[in-house]
Chains A and B, each alone.
Chain A
Amino acid sequence: MNKGLIYKIDRLNTHNGSGFRTVIYFKGCPLHCSWCHNPEGINPKPEVWINSLKCMGCGTCISQCPEQALGLIEKGVYLNREKCTGCQLCVNPCPTIAIEPLGAYYTVDDLMKIILQDKMLFETSGGGVTVTGGEPGMQSDFVVELLKACQDVGVNTALDTSGVVSLPSLGKMLQYCNTVFVDIKLFDDQASKYYTGLPLKKLKETIKYLNNYKKDTQNLNIEIRTPLIPGVNDDNESLKKIASFIQKTFTHAPKWELCMFNDLCEDKYNRMNMAWGFKGKKHAAKDYERINHLKESLPIDVTISGFVERNNKD
């Protein structure tokens, strides 16, 4: 039986589609967005990370590692990621649960058991299942099976894709999707290469494909999401470009959502031993006001989501 590599399952989520949703995070992504809020989802292999706040430095884990990838430093246990094979043998012995596994293999049956616990909630709230990542399209065969299993029992499905996905795979997944979320982050090839590691070509093809797909089948709900990145794409000009691309490409303008930026994922980068260029950057109430004002000059409707830092003692 096929298995999917999944690094998080989140129930009662209200941020990724209508109603309450069970959100399934697939591991592996072709993009390397420098602001990524789920850096643990990029590598398509199992990994671990270490929460240094919890680590007591007891060293129990060190002898468990067949690759000698773990060592003790002042802050506690340190992981040499070049040596780590992701076997996760170090996870269980840790008395403080400081070492957490990233990625576990699930069958469709495993997931359906979890999903069906909330079926009543999906029905009363208009919710369902959302597959996201990483890029679910990197495990498309499994995703197709999962989405089909959901629809077979009447569970609403949504696919959240980066757009960087093979079109035949996308087509297969869409057959079992009620909604597709696709990110349009940038509208400048150079910036895209610089910030995400890939040019825009693939994404543009996907967008066109989605528009045609929608024309043919009608019953697909397309939603575009643009994460607003401070100093990268949250200026008026970038947003206008994205807006006019959406307007030109789609026969019927889809829903478009701008997501305000926060820096809550900073600790994830520490745990991944990665540097993060967006440390301390976050949108505040005044940014929200600016974007909200800008909305009116954009050619298509857009909603703003996400939370921003409050004005001082507001």
Chain B
Amino acid sequence: MKESKVRKKFVPDNRMQALIDRRLQLVVGQKRHVLCDNAEFLVYHWSGKASTFAPATGEHADKESRIEIGDHSARVDNGMDFPFTQEIPSRKNNSFELSALNWAKDYAFFIDHSPAEVYANEALVGEFHWQLDEARHFQYPDEQKEAGFLARELGAGGISFAHTCPDLSIGLKLGWTGLLDKVRKYKKQYQEKGESERVEYLAGSELVIESIIRYIQRHVDKVKELAASEINNDQLNIYLSIAETCEAIATRAPQTLKEAVQWIWMFQVVERMHGHGNGYGRTDQLLIDFYKSDMEKGILTRQEARELVGEMYIKYGSYTALGGRLQDGSDATNEMSWVCLEAYDLVGGINHLGVMWHPEMDKEFYAYANDILTRHGCGVPTLVNYDVLKASEVRSGYKPEDAWNIAYSGCQWYCGVGTEYNDQDVNSLVLLKPMQRAIELGIEQKIDSFGALWNIYNEEVDKTANALVDFKNATYNWQAKVWPEMVTTFCMHDCIEKGRDCTDIDAVRYNYTSVNVLGVPNVSDSLYAIKKLVFEDKTYTLAQMQAAIESDWEGQEIMRQHFLNCSKFGNDEDASDDMAIQVSENVREILESKKNIKGFNFRPSLFQYMGHTYAGPMLGATPDGRKASEPIAHGMNPMHGRNHKGIAATVESFCKLDFSKYQGGSFQLELTPNFFKTGSDSGKLMDSFSQNFFNKGGVQINFNLVDFKVLEEAMNDNENPIYHDINVKVTGYSSHFVTMDKKFQKEFIERVNYQNL
């Protein structure tokens, strides 16, 4: 929905409005793009080129093939490359090594050469333009790449990056200086024991923290310099306040809400310079004590609190979580949960916060979340089912004392706060590939029953899974040396204590490998159609079907229609829904039977964030009647236009799956404004709908209220400023519609398929 049309409950003052305006200008100026290498990266989550997402500048981004996947980057692109790339220690001295200490020296140099910037009106500072992966060589050794290409051949891939959720309470309690003391303490201990590897790691950590403290201190110097020549009294006061806050967090642990928010934002800035995009945990739990203490002392008003959190949202609306339960199982909603939602109602726009619902949640709070969701109409907050998240972690092997403290931390990811390295976001298993091999083998072996085809399919899925296991293990062997996540590690439990990076083996408490399974609805719709038309009705042979698919159904429209119009997942029809369950359970059992070298098993996720848009032509036509040029289904959501019985039936189909057995499976809900009758309480309806969905076992709702006519106009008139402030929830991340790649825009519009209900 258009940001400018939203009726906000809290009205921003001139200062806040100026910051909101700047946010939009950055987007319109294409300063917040997230890019990936190429279409292959989206489908397999690995292209063999980059080991991460492609930064907009630097060595990885090939301007011809890279794809803009949105504008949800915390980084602000200033159009320049990092100016000191050639002087970075590992390059300058030709001393590049795959080691944590070598990495740390580059990081310290990198941050020391990143400017401290302060912009007019802002009370919260910290903005970055470059990520270390643009300057430091980020490539795994060849053995890992070879395993990657083998996995690709069989339909799998992945990188290990993003959406871990550090426990910021560790940092808020100790401050940077306290963290430095902690690192030094353990370094000394390991020195005494003669454990040089751990000592070296902690020596690197020391360099990193020292550089971060210098970076914060440079912000103090910068505002003091600005203050010296400032004549506007209001601006002068802001500068002085920034100086005080930054001085405090450079020298001790934060004590006020303002210091805590600045600490959290600065952590995100220096952590995201790694190049990744983590989640930052349960903001309401992190900040409640600061809020209460300030309120008791009378040094804070609720509006000031909203503005502080709101400024952080303007800087970047990271993946954060509100609500959920406390360790004793009681509702975790507190005053700060309200402030965090109110802050959104003050600044609006793109944000990735999630509200973790459970049946005992404060009803008024949940009602407010739904009111915001429908009033702002751009997918904020994401609604997730806390009890299902927790149940799935417990099922994986989480101890109860850790499992309660989970947070929504990515498109549809959740993570143990500070206890889990979240290797979830970008592993991919393209389920259509083993199916395609199974069909070919089935024809070769002249099979005559669906059971026989299923057995071959099962073996082929297993082969693909094994290739992925080999690839991930090859990655894990090197990850902590190739690209340690040192800043994240400061706020992870047990890691500094062990002198190990959170990406390392035997570091964090939990490190399952979750895998995005792409194309479950297409595979199950295909297998069901084959079962019915080839083996039951014997209308066509497998070979006839295969020939038609190979020619993209050319000249076989009647056959295509027969395959297309078999019962399809998403219409609450048991025959096709049962197949979807069978297919999901099968890939789950196969993945769960595999262990990684860290000692944790693989897990499936019924989600894939954007691969479905580009996978079509790469994979060719499919037996579900899909032509090669069409996208494939998004996550577990039924294929566009195939859930002809409407949302209610789709919900029934969707919730036949037990989501506590999977690492998520978000439900994408795009409604046009006409869905809600004029004058009806859409917030209340959404409240009712979402609770009904969660009570049936659903795990996440990504909701958009979009007028598809407007989106069509926007797609054809991208440059027109009247469309610049339309925000949409793409798959779990938010983006301005006009900044998305054309293919994404088209897919998004086609998805809006509930308008005529």
A contacts, CB < 8 Å to B = 10-15, 19-20, 56, 58, 60, 95-97, 117-118, 120-121, 124-127, 264, 303-307, 310, 313
Partner pick for A124 among B687, B710, B756, CB 8 A cutoff = B687
Q: Are B695 and A305 in contact (CB under 8 A)?
A: no
Cα–Cα, bound, A126→B680 (Å): 12
CB proximity of A267 to chain B, nearest CB, Å: 10
Cα–Cα, bound, A11→B649 (Å): 8
Partner pick for A19 among B647, B685, B709, CB 8 A cutoff = B685
Cα–Cα, bound, A20→B693 (Å): 14
Q: Are B674 and A307 in contact (CB under 8 A)?
A: yes
Q: Are B757 and A121 in contact (CB under 8 A)?
A: no
- Chain B, residues 637-648, CB within 8 Å of chain A (1/0): the string is 000000000111
Q: Is B237 an interface residue (CB 8 A)?
A: no
CB proximity of B693 to chain A, nearest CB, Å: 9
Interface centre among A56, A125, A304, A306 (most CB of B within 10 A): A125
- Chain B, residues 681-721, CB within 8 Å of chain A (1/0): the string is 00011011101100100000000000101100100000000
- Which residues of chain B are near A307, meaning CB under 8 Å? 673-674, 678
Known A10-B646, A120-B695, A121-B692: A96·B685 in contact at CB below 8 Å: no
Give the residue name and chain of the A residue nearest to B680 (CB): A14
**Pairs of residues from A and B, 8 with the lowest C-beta to C-beta distance, nearest first:** A125-B688, A11-B648, A95-B561, A124-B688, A305-B678, A15-B677, A96-B561, A121-B692
- Which residues of chain A are near B557, meaning CB under 8 Å? 56
- Which residues of chain B are near A118, meaning CB under 8 Å? 648, 692
Give the residue name and chain of the A residue nearest to B652 (CB): A117
Tell me the residues in window 643-664 of chain B with beta carbons closer than 8 Å to chain A beta carbons: 646-649, 652
B contacts, CB < 8 Å to A = 557-558, 561-562, 565, 646-649, 652, 673-680, 684-685, 687-689, 691-692, 695, 707, 709-710, 713, 722, 756-757
Give the residue name and chain of the A residue nearest to B645 (CB): A11
- Which residues of chain B are near A264, meaning CB under 8 Å? 756
Known A11-B646, A12-B757, A95-B565: A121·B673 in contact at CB below 8 Å: no
CB proximity of B211 to chain A, nearest CB, Å: 50
Judged by DSSP, the binding face of B is: helix
CB proximity of B2 to chain A, nearest CB, Å: 10
Known A14-B675, A305-B679: A120·B692 in contact at CB below 8 Å: yes
Q: Are B684 and A304 in contact (CB under 8 A)?
A: no
Q: A10-B646, A121-B689, A307-B674 are in contact. List 18 more A-B contacts (CB 8 A).
A: A10-B757, A11-B647, A12-B689, A12-B757, A14-B676, A14-B677, A19-B688, A20-B689, A56-B558, A56-B561, A120-B692, A124-B687, A125-B684, A127-B688, A303-B678, A304-B678, A310-B707, A310-B709
13 A-B contacts (beta carbon < 8 Å): A11-B646, A11-B649, A14-B675, A58-B558, A60-B558, A118-B648, A120-B695, A121-B692, A124-B687, A124-B688, A126-B684, A307-B678, A310-B710
Cα–Cα, bound, A303→B680 (Å): 11
Q: Are B562 and A12 in contact (CB under 8 A)?
A: no
Cα–Cα, bound, A310→B688 (Å): 29
CB proximity of B257 to chain A, nearest CB, Å: 35
Cα–Cα, bound, A264→B709 (Å): 14
Give the residue name and chain of the A residue nearest to B696 (CB): A120
Q: Are B688 and A303 in contact (CB under 8 A)?
A: no
Give the residue name and chain of the A residue nearest to B644 (CB): A97
- Which residues of chain B are near A117, meaning CB under 8 Å? 648, 652
Q: Are B685 and A20 in contact (CB under 8 A)?
A: yes
CB proximity of A24 to chain B, nearest CB, Å: 14
Partner pick for A12 among B558, B647, B674, CB 8 A cutoff = B647
Partner pick for A125 among B562, B648, B675, B685, CB 8 A cutoff = B685
Q: Are B674 and A303 in contact (CB under 8 A)?
A: no
CB proximity of A263 to chain B, nearest CB, Å: 14
- Which residues of chain A are near B688, meaning CB under 8 Å? 19-20, 121, 124-125, 127
Give the residue name and chain of the A residue nearest to B561 (CB): A95
- Which residues of chain B are near A58, meaning CB under 8 Å? 558
Cα–Cα, bound, A97→B562 (Å): 10
CB proximity of A117 to chain B, nearest CB, Å: 7
Q: Are B558 and A95 in contact (CB under 8 A)?
A: yes
- Which residues of chain A are near B679, meaning CB under 8 Å? 303, 305
Give the residue name and chain of the B residue nearest to A308 (CB): B678
Known A303-B679, A304-B678, A307-B673: A13·B757 in contact at CB below 8 Å: yes
Interface centre among B646, B709, B756 (most CB of A within 10 A): B646
